[in-house]
Structure 1
Amino acid sequence: MPRPSRGLAAAVALVSLAALPPGASAAADDSSGAAQHMPLGPADLQTAAQAPQTLTPGVTYRKFVQGQASDLWSVELEIPRPGGKSWQLGNRTYADALVRDLTAQGFTGRVDSWQVPVLTGGGGLLSEHRVRVGQFDPNGRADADRLKGRLESAGHSARTVYTAQDGFPSTGPWQVRVVTVDPTAAVAFKAVHGQDVRTTQSVRDMAAAAGALVAVNGSECDIDSPGNENFSGYDGDPEGLYVQGNSLLSEANNGRTALLLEGAGGRVRVDEITSRTQVTAPDGEVRQVDGINRVPGRIRGCGGTGDDRRLDGKGADPEARPWRGIMCVADDEVVVFRPEWGASTPPPRPEATGAVDVVMDGNWSVKEIRPAGGPIPAGARVMQGIGAGADWLRAHAVVGQAFKPGTGITDSRGKPVTSPTLSAVAGGGPALVRDGEVMVNTVANGMHDAVYGTPTRAVVERHPRTLAGVTAAGELLLVTIDGRDPATSVGVTVQEAAEVMKWLGAKDALSLGIGGDTTLVANGTLYNRPMDSWTANAPTERKVANAVVVVKK
């Protein structure tokens, strides 16, 4: 049966920032096995809730299940246009031309159309169009794959898709897993990474190393994958803020939403965070440090010091705004490397000029000035400079004399958040709930197209998601919603994620990683089903940058 055309009302609902009517915030306390309806899908869907499982006193796990498969498998085609091809276009002329070509080849194509709101520059609506062939029921993936092969043999670039990902009304199904930590529980909250910051490790392995009771994925990172053409060489490098034990191990994409644990102002907080580091040279000259533990000149997620520019050519950014998943570059930088980074500083990239390392001991006293790229001695710090940053280091570094560092991490009101036990991660974002109401700040988290101002696919499509929040009573909520599996769970849009967190009773909440990163481990056991793609045949535990863990005191 053909699916209805995607309408304006549905598209706008996906990114609405308005709060919905109050949900069943007491759902996690209902032990009857039949909780109220989760705010997912039609209102007549019934939620089945498993009985709570106590992981340790004050820490409980619960799974909620709702809905059934009704979406369709299809095959999507890349659309020829002047200058290349695209999977979606704003101009329907080229989509219609492709459908005519398909008809001439004996295929029945269609154009699926969307109207999406513009989030910046005064608003408005823009259209998007995709070309698809075939409609198969939720068990019909093999048929869709065979059709994809026929279309490729006919000269088309094609991919198999499941329409639940589009983000329009669906009946699911959904599996929502919730860990609730009472503020009186004898546990602590931390952020941890693997062997070093520049490499990845599975959430299960990080949990084991930390002795964690519960762990979920934390930051997104610069991942080595075919879709990341701007990979900088270190796939554990977190995108944005990462703090462990009050040590800043990755600078913020300034203004993005972060999860703060065991810091000033509360054990669990969600807020927009800025970090700033500077060094004072022995002669009293002061310079801002551009980054912590990353390749100089490469700023994933942008939002740096103000002279960054997007590598995709969409211009300089004097306001230093963050852009999720985008690589920014800069010619003149100073980056600090700590031992947590790994064994050695990165060799300079070909475009870097005059690169230099200043090797210091743990007290920031200069021990050596050398060409960039070399070992990081135990307990040492290394400042690597490129361009004017390298010139500044050569002019002011003196062997035997010390620099004086200073770092500030502040919230949206400009107040410090640091404490001796602070951990923090900025996941994929955005914020989801603020003061008990749905509040989705996609623009602040750089989750919109820089040219058209429309929300990115990560906002409006359904994906697996890891969410975190805090209730009015101070409970930590760690939530995973599986996706990319028609038989068990299709995932959620950002708006749906926000509604679920409000329903669970979150006072403040945010989204951490999405997609194949989404992982929940408890007592060393994988509790959810991480899926790399809609066409994955089985769950895969992806290696990630870091994890948020709950450990016994």
Structure 2
Amino acid sequence: MAIFIKFKAVILAIFALQIYALPQDFRQVHDGIEYAEVTRGTEEAPIRINLLRLDPAKVRLDIVHALDAAIGTEKTSSIAKRHGAVAAINAGFFRNDSSIYAGDAAGILVIDGKILSESYANRVAVGIINGKSKTEVEFGHLKIEAYVTNGKEKAIISGINRERKKDEIIVFMPEFHRTTLTGSDGFEIVVTESKPRIERKGNSVIPCNGYVVSVSDEKHKWLLKSKKLKLVVKIEALEKEKQAFFSKAEDIVGGVPQLIKNGQIQITWELEKTSREFVETRHPRTAIAKLKDGKILMITVDGRQPGYSVGMTLQELAEFLLEMGATDAINLDGGGSTTMFLDGKVVNRPSDKEGERKVSDAILVFLR
């Protein structure tokens, strides 16, 4: 009898750790949008999960940056409300400090076909194409080739719409700010349809119909003599079969790392230059996945709140997504940024003491 009781206790413990979202957990909140709240884990270490399951034939997805700019921060709920979205989750990683550059995307960002931030470390990203009949999403590891040329020579661009550092060339677009926010070192070339104009005092005004090439040294003096300049920015997918999709994608935002590929857990944290601690420590998490049935899954996992929700490691997150039917998935910004918005309110419990954190961008859900 004692053996049977112990065996039963072990079985119950296993089931306590394996609480997945069953079909009956989801409820339809709009045509094409299902929502579920799930608690798993144990009584001592609960894990609270919020899920949005989306029919791509009935919804449209858009990536929107805070304040509709290239820098700056704003709450996910505020971004969603301003744009009239039904639902939303926070999206990419970003510079989170008190500087004027706060909200600078820490990786690739493309909005409405315009590249607003460069890639970093070949990290994974999600791309979106809103077709006439349905929305498509794809995941892939991306890098950007960017340069400015006069037809004979070219200068490699270090970054797009971010702080200029020593020995760097940065391109500033109108979405960045009214001016480049740079110092007086180096030089800047204001490019419009007319002849490029040289500025040596820094903090140049960015033309609404052009861009500014900001150079922090004198190594590329040929730029000063160029009568015409052309900016070239290309997105390259490391998975060649995904090149066509990402070349046409309307919106792209970076994450880190890949979690699932072709139905298998493949956490590419070393390739994407993140840390083992980030992967193996339980944190609040945000992720997006494609499901076997063609639907799209958005997920938030609350954490850093003992007694309420402890968060997940990336392995735990990937395993959960696999159980949910994910064929492909990536991790997005988590921690205090983790937020899910639905029908006018935040439905998860963000971990920051101050409540919902201001972030750089969000993935918004609209009804078709």
Q: TM range, normalised to the smaller chain?
A: 0.7 to 0.9
Within the alignment, does 1:444 sit opposite 2:279 as a pair? no
Show the 5 A alignment for 1:148-227: 172-185=45-58, 187-195=59-67, 196-224=69-97
Show the 5 A alignment for 1:187-336: 187-195=59-67, 196-224=69-97, 233-262=100-129, 267-281=136-150, 284-297=152-165, 331-336=166-171
Give 1:267 shift: 1.3
Give 1:419 shift: 5.0
Within the alignment, does 1:359 sit opposite 2:190 as a pair? yes
Question: What's 1:43 paired with?
Answer: 15
Aligned with 1:259: secondary structure? strand
User: Which structure has the larger Rg over C-alpha atoms?
Assistant: 1
Asked whether the equivalents of residues 180 and 475 of structure 1 are also in contact (C-alpha less than 8 Å), the reply is yes
Q: Deviations over 1:416-453 (max 9, x none)?
A: 444555211112x11111111111111011123xxxxx
Question: What's 2:200 paired with?
Answer: 370
Counterpart CA distance in 2 for 1:442 and 1:51 is 31
Counterpart CA distance in 2 for 1:235 and 1:289 is 21
Sequence identity (%): 29
Question: What's 2:252 paired with?
Answer: 424
Q: Which consecutive aligned stretches of 4+ in structure 1 deviate over 3 angstroms post-superposition? A: 41-51, 416-421
Give 1:368 shift: 4.3
Show the 5 A alignment for 1:390-429: 390-392=218-220, 394-397=221-224, 401-414=227-240, 415-419=243-247, 422-427=250-255, 429=256
Counterpart CA distance in 1 for 2:225 and 2:111 is 30
Within the alignment, does 1:435 sit opposite 2:254 as a pair? no
Size of the aligned set, in residue pairs, is 348
Task: Summarize the Cα distance change of 1:421–1:364 in structure 2 as closer, same or farther, 3 Å threshold.
Answer: farther
Give 1:235 shift: 1.1
2:314 is aligned, of 489, 494, 506, to 494
Q: Deviations over 1:134-190 (max 9, x none)?
A: xxxxxxxxxxxxxxxxxxxxxxxxxxxxxxxxxxxxxx21111111111221x2211
Question: What's 1:478 paired with?
Answer: 298
Question: What's 1:306 paired with?
Answer: none
Question: What's 1:35 paired with?
Answer: none
Counterpart CA distance in 2 for 1:364 and 1:460 is 54
Q: Deviations over 1:182-208 (max 9, x none)?
A: 1221x2211111222221111011112
Give 1:285 shift: 1.6
Give 1:523 shift: 2.1
Counterpart CA distance in 1 for 2:247 and 2:265 is 29
- Structure 2 unmatched runs, 5+: 1-12
- Amino acid aligned to 1:332: D
Counterpart CA distance in 1 for 2:141 and 2:127 is 10
Q: Deviations over 1:240-296 (max 9, x none)?
A: 1111111110000141111111189x8111111111112212x53222211111112
TM-score, with structure 2 as normaliser = 0.87
- Structure 1 unmatched runs, 5+: 1-40, 71-171, 226-231, 298-330, 449-454
- Amino acid aligned to 1:374: S
Aligned with 1:371: secondary structure? coil
Q: Let me know the Cα RMSD of the aligned residues.
A: 2.4
- Amino acid aligned to 1:446: K
Give 1:51 shift: 4.1
Counterpart CA distance in 1 for 2:121 and 2:202 is 27
Within the alignment, does 1:509 sit opposite 2:340 as a pair? no
Aligned with 2:303: secondary structure? coil
Counterpart CA distance in 1 for 2:130 and 2:146 is 19
Asked whether the equivalents of residues 366 and 398 of structure 1 are also in contact (C-alpha less than 8 Å), the reply is no
Task: Summarize the Cα distance change of 1:398–1:552 in structure 2 as closer, same or farther, 3 Å threshold.
Answer: farther
Within the alignment, does 1:382 sit opposite 2:212 as a pair? yes
Counterpart CA distance in 1 for 2:161 and 2:341 is 27
Aligned with 2:333: secondary structure? strand
Within the alignment, does 1:52 sit opposite 2:9 as a pair? no
Asked whether the equivalents of residues 121 and 273 of structure 2 are also in contact (C-alpha less than 8 Å), the reply is no
Greater length-normalized contact order (CA 8 Å, ≥ 6 residues apart): 2
Which is worse superposed, 252-261 or 44-53?
A: 44-53
Counterpart CA distance in 1 for 2:195 and 2:297 is 43
Asked whether the equivalents of residues 61 and 130 of structure 2 are also in contact (C-alpha less than 8 Å), the reply is no
Which is worse superposed, 487-496 or 46-55?
A: 46-55
